[in-house]
Structure 1
Amino acid sequence: MQNHILSHMLAGIVRDYGQPVMIWQAGTLLGTLLVAWLLARLVRHKLDSHRRARHEAVRFGAESLHKALFPLLGGVLVWVAETVLDDYMSTSLLELALVPLIGIALIYILFFIARRVFGRTGQAHAWLSIAERIVSVAVWIGMVVTVLGIQDEVLRWMASVRFRIGTAHMTLLSLTTGLMWVCATLIFALWLGSAYEDRVMRAHSVDANLRVVLARVGRALLVLAALLISFSLVGIDITVLGVFGGALGVGLGFGLQKIASNYVSGFIILIDRSLRIGDTINVSGLQGMVTEIRTRYTTVRGLDGIETLIPNEKLITDVVQNHSSYLTRGYAKAAVQIAYTSDLERAMALLVEAARGVERVLEEPAPAAYLVGFGTDGINLELGFWVEEAAKGTTGTRSTVNRNIWRLFNEHGISIPYARRDVHLVGSLPAILGSAVEIAQDPAIDAAHGTAADSSNSGTGLARDASTGA
């Protein structure tokens, strides 16, 4: 085994060590790596200026691609140099340098694909980091095996390990190869689906719900096609999927009917556009804004900031109140009462002025003041105005308008009346005072007061105040 290892790459390094050809190879390697570093820096600068306009998930995945530029370009240039110089001198050092360059580039490219596929939010999840470590270890083991030249022995050993799965006879090599094909086709399909989803979601000329439907259906079809292709490459008969499909249908009919109903309801909501992201809805007493519509559930953020996951079936079968509409403006009112002695026309003009310049209050239609009626204590006025994006709430806007009304009325002498009540005494004053004295001196009334005092302290205080006043 040792002689075989030394007859491969390491044997060439040992043979050329101390020879002038090693200096030429080292100079060629350093030159190609310097050119690769300059090219990688130039390409990275171009990609940086392009990715600034992209969303976070794309930038998150592009970081790994940038790290792969130098080893990838270096590997290509070293391979070109090795091919050109192979007819003139020994290229053992260049051949050895190709292994880590291509291996490291492969690691970062796989990282780029994984982060583009699974890092949709622009964050590295724990399981994604674990998968990247596994890929790194596997690639480094492959590089070591290649450098030592024992890849043929490893492959023969894997082919000699045989076992059975059901009625199929398999080897460790065939199983590993099949799993690699399945993973590769699935990841490639998910990558294509991710790029397709990015392109569809940026098509602002298409309705938002329709974009979500097209993106998810497209990704599902790509994954299905990848599974069928990978099964064919591995050698699995696709016709056996008919039995699996029948069993899956039975399972959906019994145990998974709720889940299937939620998925179907989700597509119905997205297709008929009955709900949109940003709508303020009320369902089963829960009021909030729709922040996300998934195929299984819809996320609603309540007025307290807590997000609730509502199954899509509930949004189809229950009564849903949608407080939003295609017209985002809403009508608001501010009621006020002025004294009969105030200038009516001036007060109505001040009401209109109070609504002007307030944030989210529309100038067209313009605010208008109305005389609603004549009340007991004053004249009832009302200010009507239109608020932009009323689904976000109108309380703050109405509060600002009311404060402006209070300030303008105080500045221009418009008074807001207090409630007044007139008390008329029937009979002469001496007769009324005499009746009060008789009531205070009556023992039966005092006893009644004492009983009331036992049951209510407030009643005692009132009775004593009345007796003292008498």
Structure 2
Amino acid sequence: MIPESHPFSNFLLSLQALFDGVLGFGESILSPGWRQNQILILLALVALAWVLHRVTGVMLQNWVRSREGWSKWQLRVVVQVKRRLGLIWFALLAGLLYQVMQNVTWPSRSYLIGLAATLAAIYVGIAFAARLVRNRPLRRMVTWGLWIYATLFMLNVADDVALFLDGVALTVGEFRLSVLTILTALVVVGALLTMARLVSTTTAATIRKNEDISPSMQVLAVKGVQILLYGLAFFIGVRAVGIDLTGLAVLSGAIGVGLGFGLQKVVSNLVSGVIILLDKSIKPGDVISLGETFGWIQTLGARYASVVTRDGKEYLIPNEDLITGQVVNWSHSNDFVRLDIYFGTAYSDDPHLVRKLAVEAAKGVDRVLSYKAPVCHIVGFGDSSVDYILRFWIKDPTGGLTNIRGNVYLALWDAFKEHGISIPFPQREVKVIEDSQLALSRAAASRDMPE
């Protein structure tokens, strides 16, 4: 026999009381009477709400398609409303019927209908409020948790279920962890994390609007605020439900040592990201080259930097590579960039005229700076051409480098063609020796040809 004071005995008593309540409610529904009639009415309302959901859903979809210029948040709201039209219709129909029965017929015989209408309205409100939680698994957990709690509260069995869940516990010495404590911690921490996300989003928007703060310091400030708020939300939530974290200090230290060896690269990237933000060597909007990757920094994350190239590819470069590798920052101290292009002309063309035409052609191209005048020099005498280098400056590397080089080459082509300057290409002269096998083969072939 289990003593009555034993925790497991209390758990069994709570389970028995809950089972007896559910069994009694089921018997009352199956017995003929107004409770059974209310259940049949609710089933009819469910069927009617489903039909209205199908009809009005198509009408709402066609109406939205006829609209133009709607923002994303408006479309998201419409999508959520369309998904829950059936529940909304059921809440409206059940609430209207409940009011009619309360004022016209028998108020005491409409309790279940009023309860169903209230629960449906609460479910709709919880479903829309839970959209504030961005994380999908956490959002589903919060939604289902609130739905279950609202149902138990409206049925006046929340205390009995809480007592039952508190009886399912793991006790080790003075440490006791029950299912109720775990569920309460999840709900409280989820709510606090949601509040922390809202506050951090508002704070981040305010920081980004401040033009007195550099872009790198803006990113650092936003990351610091997010870490602070999320950390406070977690520890406050855990402490709010009565979980003592001091006993986990030794265990967390051992786990930290193990994670330190296994996550060296991750920690290195995190530290490198902080260093990049502090020394301002790279900031959002800078144009960089790293190996064969050329693009501009879109975002600086805790682990990587997002670099977008001219062809739309987005590279996620670890922060450690930006610290230890050789990075070309085209816009670190200023936006001035000098570009070099190489070309050659024929030996018969006047080099003085070629240099003059090249400089004038480069000056006429958009984005080429005129107050930093282009220059052209001879760099060598090649096998087929006189080789030149043309140097010019631009101030907008974010606009691309390949396109400006192509425009300058095209301007050189037009200028040289207009003034008769030729651009030679390699030519080879083949001389056939008379006594060679090829010469004898050709002679024999010519003799065999018919006249």
TM range (shorter): 0.5 to 0.7
CA distance in 1, matches of 2:368, 2:122: 63
- After superposition, the C-alpha distances for 1:367-396 in whole angstroms (9 at most, x for unaligned) are 546575997999877654323433665343
- After superposition, the C-alpha distances for 1:78-98 in whole angstroms (9 at most, x for unaligned) are 89x99xx99xx9585556522
Matched, 1:97 2:117: yes
Listed as ranges, the matches of 1:22-421 within 5 Å are: 52=71, 90=107, 92=111, 96-110=116-130, 112-115=131-134, 118=135, 128=136, 137-142=144-149, 145=152, 149-164=156-171, 167-240=174-247, 242-244=249-251, 246-247=253-254, 250-251=257-258, 254-282=261-289, 285=291, 287-289=293-295, 290-300=297-307, 309-334=316-341, 335-337=343-345, 350-356=357-363, 358-359=365-366, 361-365=367-371, 367-368=373-374, 370=376, 372=378, 383-390=390-397, 393-414=400-421
Other-structure match for 1:23: none
CA distance in 2, matches of 1:198, 1:263: 23
Go from structure 1 to structure 2 and tell me whether the alpha carbon gap of 1:165 and 1:201 turns closer, same or farther (over 3 Å shift): farther
- After superposition, the C-alpha distances for 1:425-455 in whole angstroms (9 at most, x for unaligned) are xxxxxxxxxxxxxxxxxxxxxxxxxxxxxxx
CA distance in 2, matches of 1:419, 1:227: 72
CA distance in 2, matches of 1:351, 1:286: 29
Which amino acid is the alignment partner of residue 103 of structure 1? Answer: Y
What SS does structure 2 have at the residue aligned with 1:277? coil
- After superposition, the C-alpha distances for 1:79-120 in whole angstroms (9 at most, x for unaligned) are 9x99xx99xx9585556522211221112211x1123xx3xx
CA distance in 2, matches of 1:246, 1:163: 24
Scaled by the length of structure 1, the TM-score of the pair is 0.60
Q: Are the counterparts in 1 of residues 281 and 332 from structure 2 also a CA contact under 8 Å?
A: no
Identity percentage of aligned residues:
27
Residue 243 of structure 1 deviates from its aligned partner by 3.4
Q: Are the counterparts in 1 of residues 433 and 439 from structure 2 also a CA contact under 8 Å?
A: no
Q: Are the counterparts in 2 of residues 277 and 293 from structure 1 also a CA contact under 8 Å?
A: yes
Residue 194 of structure 1 deviates from its aligned partner by 3.5
CA distance in 2, matches of 1:393, 1:159: 65
- After superposition, the C-alpha distances for 1:259-294 in whole angstroms (9 at most, x for unaligned) are 3332112111112111223545455x4543345432
Go from structure 1 to structure 2 and tell me whether the alpha carbon gap of 1:62 and 1:382 turns closer, same or farther (over 3 Å shift): same
Residue 210 of structure 1 deviates from its aligned partner by 1.5
Q: Are the counterparts in 2 of residues 387 and 394 from structure 1 also a CA contact under 8 Å?
A: no
Q: Are the counterparts in 1 of residues 363 and 374 from structure 2 also a CA contact under 8 Å?
A: no
Larger Rg: 1
Which amino acid is the alignment partner of residue 271 of structure 1? Answer: L
Which amino acid is the alignment partner of residue 370 of structure 2? Answer: E
Go from structure 1 to structure 2 and tell me whether the alpha carbon gap of 1:459 and 1:268 turns closer, same or farther (over 3 Å shift): same
Other-structure match for 2:436: 464
Go from structure 1 to structure 2 and tell me whether the alpha carbon gap of 1:244 and 1:170 turns closer, same or farther (over 3 Å shift): closer
Q: Are the counterparts in 1 of residues 373 and 392 from structure 2 also a CA contact under 8 Å?
A: yes
Q: Are the counterparts in 2 of residues 279 and 322 from structure 1 also a CA contact under 8 Å?
A: yes
What SS does structure 1 have at the residue aligned with 2:213? coil
- After superposition, the C-alpha distances for 1:160-203 in whole angstroms (9 at most, x for unaligned) are 43442564234433332233223322333234333433443454
Go from structure 1 to structure 2 and tell me whether the alpha carbon gap of 1:114 and 1:389 turns closer, same or farther (over 3 Å shift): same
RMSD value, Cα? 5.4
- After superposition, the C-alpha distances for 1:24-83 in whole angstroms (9 at most, x for unaligned) are xxxxxxxxxxxxxxxxx9xxx9xx99994xxx6x77876688789996xx99xx89x99x
Q: Are the counterparts in 1 of residues 299 and 305 from structure 2 also a CA contact under 8 Å?
A: yes
After alignment, is 220-229 or 403-412 more displaced? 403-412
Residue 214 of structure 1 deviates from its aligned partner by 1.2
Unaligned residue ranges in structure 1 (runs of 5+):
19-40, 119-127, 422-457
Residue 208 of structure 1 deviates from its aligned partner by 1.9
Residue 218 of structure 1 deviates from its aligned partner by 0.8
Q: Are the counterparts in 1 of residues 115 and 154 from structure 2 also a CA contact under 8 Å?
A: no
What SS does structure 1 have at the residue aligned with 2:133? helix
What SS does structure 1 have at the residue aligned with 2:365? coil
Q: Are the counterparts in 2 of residues 333 and 383 from structure 1 also a CA contact under 8 Å?
A: yes
Q: Are the counterparts in 1 of residues 330 and 337 from structure 2 also a CA contact under 8 Å?
A: no
What SS does structure 2 have at the residue aligned with 1:235? coil
Which amino acid is the alignment partner of residue 128 of structure 2? Answer: Y
CA distance in 2, matches of 1:143, 1:296: 41
CA distance in 2, matches of 1:164, 1:355: 82
Q: Are the counterparts in 1 of residues 308 and 314 from structure 2 also a CA contact under 8 Å?
A: yes
What SS does structure 1 have at the residue aligned with 2:339? strand
What SS does structure 2 have at the residue aligned with 1:155? helix
Which amino acid is the alignment partner of residue 436 of structure 2? Answer: R
